[in-house]
């Protein structure tokens, strides 16, 4: 059996002002428990996890690009858990 590998998923995320961001999320697979000894010692395993790796977004207004405002970045950070959930959903 092949061990699942980590992967990067790019999530498109829409901000309240309709600006669209692309967010890279690193997905780490769950690791099973491993028993080393009959007394139960070993590695307890770990659940699947996600980590937002980078954010890149620009807003187009009147044909010009602009960076996100501090307030928009804060909103994106507040949505981090939802973004990670979306990454798992996209990865299947």
d(CA 83, CA 62): 28
Beta bridge partners of 37: none
Count of helix runs (H) and strand runs (E) in the chain: 2, 6
pLDDT at 77 over 80: yes
Q: State the average pLDDT over residues 83-91.
A: 93
d(CA 19, CA 24): 16
Name the token pair of 7.
């992967």
Q: Predicted confidence band at 48 (pLDDT cuts at 50, 70, 90)?
A: very high
Q: Predicted confidence band at 26 (pLDDT cuts at 50, 70, 90)?
A: very high
Q: Predicted confidence band at 55 (pLDDT cuts at 50, 70, 90)?
A: low
Q: Predicted confidence band at 44 (pLDDT cuts at 50, 70, 90)?
A: confident
């Amino acid at each position: 059996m092949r061990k699942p590998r980590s992967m990067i998923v790019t999530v498109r995320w829409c901000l309240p002002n309709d600006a669209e961001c692309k967010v890279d999320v690193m997905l780490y697979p769950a690791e099973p428990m491993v028993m080393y000894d009959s007394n139960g010692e070993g590695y307890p395993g770990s659940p699947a996890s996600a980590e937002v790796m980078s954010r890149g977004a620009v807003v187009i207004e009147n044909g010009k690009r602009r960076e996100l405002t501090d307030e928009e970045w804060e909103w994106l950070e507040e949505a981090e858990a939802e973004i990670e959930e979306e990454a798992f959903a996209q990865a299947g």
